[in-house]
Amino acid sequence: MKTSAKSRAWPNQRWRWLLPILLVSLFVTTLIWLPWQAQRMEANERQEQLIADTLWVEQAIQFQLGRDEEMLRQIGTEISAGKLSPPLVRERFKTLLKSNREIQRIVWFDHHDVVVASTADTATDPSQRKPVSEPPEFNAAEIDRKLRCLAPVADQANKKTYLMSCQIPLINANRRVGSIVVTYYLSGILEEMVPWWFAQENEISIIDLDEKIYAKRSSGGPGKNVYTHNRALDLPNVTLMLRTNSNKSEPKLLSNLLVLSVILLSIGLIWSLLALWRDINRRLAAEGALRQQVSFRTAMENSLITGLRARDMEGRLTYVNPAFCKMVEHPAENIVGRLPPMPYWAPEAYEEYRQRFTQLLAGTVPSEGFETIYQRASGERFPVLIYESPLVNDNGVQTGWMSSILDISELKRAQELARQQQEMLHASARLATMGEMASILAHELNQPLAAISSYTTGAINLLQSDHSNPDDKQLLLSALDKANAQAQRAGQIIRSVHEFVKKREATREPVDMAVLMQSVMPLVELQAQTTYVKIQYAIAERLPLVQADRLLLEQVILNLTRNAIESMQNNPPELCVLRIVVRQESGCSAEQKPVAQAVSHCIVVEVIDRGHGISAEIAAQLFSPFFSTKSGGMGMGLNICRTAIEFHGGQLSHQDNPAGGTIFRFSLPV
């Protein structure tokens, strides 16, 4: 019985001793592993911090070099324009040299590589007598975009100091007129552009791919080669590296052991507070995450160029971002909390604002946005594009409205510039059309002028005749009347040409298409005379008026008929027929942004030829700019026609003629 009891007690005794041993072993293992892991983590953190700081320093150097280049390019622009004399350039160079001590000298060379102005004495500095030579494949546009630098060379005065020269070419009308050469101390770049705190903790140097050292700075002592990082400097034509070598050593294991021992001994003291600490830690983490999110969202809103505005359900302004305040030139404290009318409302648009505000409160704001005008504090008006959307909280309840406001002043100016350029293009096309018709116009004008000459000669002969005849007076009046008619005919031709080619603003007015076709018929017939093309018109009666620019429509008709006439040059006489059909249709479509919408009625004009037709390959590019099937064509005629028709809200298209040839068709909404 004793033996069995002892045997049963032994396992309990064994586990009683084994458990503390296991716990002690785990404690010792943890005590050894934690310091080693902490040491590795600290080493990794130091290396990552070194890489981040090196990147920051590299960007600071690039920024300062870019700033120096920008200032020199500004001086170069004034030199190319002839606005600066050599003494003034020298003074500008010296001023720049004083504020940028990393620059050793600045030299201005003319197009013969002769020094014009310099911050140093060229007589004692022969290195300034010739700039960086141009490569054989000189491209002014490419060189004008960035610096061109040479590999570092030793300073003649101090062989331990290396200099790097970079050239900025001076370009005027795509022609090199000189250059500016700036020379940097590589050591000065480190002294002036590397922060003192970074130099205290690291040895920083500039090296090449062969690890040749050109400059070094180590205010806090030499690096210990434990934490190092190389970062390439992005310089044109030169490959240099920024090398950082930290003067910190490996983390000490003993200090980590002591800290860990203190932490382990303190565990027993703070065991009762663990639950409270965990709760506080979670709370702080949540608050920190919330602050981070708020900071991130605030920074994002402050960096926007789009104005943001929040209003409650009563229309009271509750929030504006800095972009909106800058846009309307009112501080946030002056407008937040206000109800309409707002100080940035333009007086002439009050009625529109009140109508929009009523729609906002009723919840019928258009989702696609709308344009209006605002007034800055200075009184300046500017166009804006506004998008309104409901402001919903976490529970899905709408608490107000959020607005995005875009200043579209630049967009409006760009649209106006594009419109003016389009009008100039139309005017050029009309001039080109008249140029092609010059010989025909000369022939057409020659007939009335010859008739005028004949009638006036006959009148002079009658007046000089000695024989008086009662019928002579009637003959004289008839001749003068015919001469007057021919003179009016010539004048009408000249006025038509002048009206067609003169430059003016595009305007819309009620236009009768039948009257317009009658006015353009003589010019169409002039184009058809040289190729003996027969013109046939089919114009419907009682056509409604269209709001259009008369000259733009005349230009479209002349371009389409000229193309049709040219396509029938090689046709037999019986197939040289050009038909122009003008009629009214219903159910047309109008080009309106954002999508094409149906209109009830429109005027349709068809130009039908019997020419060679249009192949599928050409049809795919027919309306593309600068595409032409003519050897001397510019490829802008049909593109201009389509732009002019779309300007009127219509469409221009083409299709094959069943009888052979092509039908060009355009519609104009009534």
List pLDDT tens digits, range 319-357: 888 888 888 888 888 888 888 888 888 888 888 888 888
- Whether 26-269 and 304-407 share one fold: the answer is yes
Side-chain half-sphere exposure of 254, counting CA atoms within 13 A: 0
Q: What is the pLDDT of residue 170?
A: 85
pLDDT top residue among 155 and 20: 155
Q: What is the pLDDT of residue 123?
A: 42
pLDDT at 656 over 80: yes
At the fourth CATH level, the homologous superfamily of domain 507-669 is Histidine kinase-like ATPase, C-terminal domain (3.30.565.10)
Contact criterion met (CB below 8 Å) for 426 and 555: yes
Phi, psi (degrees; rounded to nearest 5) at 438: -60, -45
Range in 314-318, 623-627, 644-648 with the lowest mean pLDDT: 623-627
Token representation of residue 600:
């009830």
Range in 134-138, 454-458, 513-517 with the lowest mean pLDDT: 134-138
pLDDT top residue among 263 and 210: 210
Q: Which residues contact 270 (CB under 8 A, 6 or more apart)?
A: 277
Identify the band that residue 505 occupies on the pLDDT scale cut at 50, 70 and 90: low
304-407: CATH class: alpha beta
How is domain 26-269 classified at the CATH fold level? Beta-Lactamase (3.30.450)
- Reduced to 3 states (helix: H, G, I; strand: E, B; else coil), residue 156 is coil
Phi-psi region of 188 (alpha: psi -120 to 50; beta: other; left: phi over 0): alpha
Q: What is the pLDDT of residue 607?
A: 92
Over residues 89-98, mean pLDDT: 89
413-505: CATH class: mainly alpha
Token representation of residue 54:
């090196």
Where exactly are the structural domains of the chain?
Answer: 26-269, 273-299, 304-407, 413-505, 507-669
Q: What is the pLDDT of residue 138?
A: 38
Q: What is the pLDDT of residue 258?
A: 57
- The verdict on pTM exceeding 0.85 is no
Strand duo 509-511 + 546-548: pairing: antiparallel
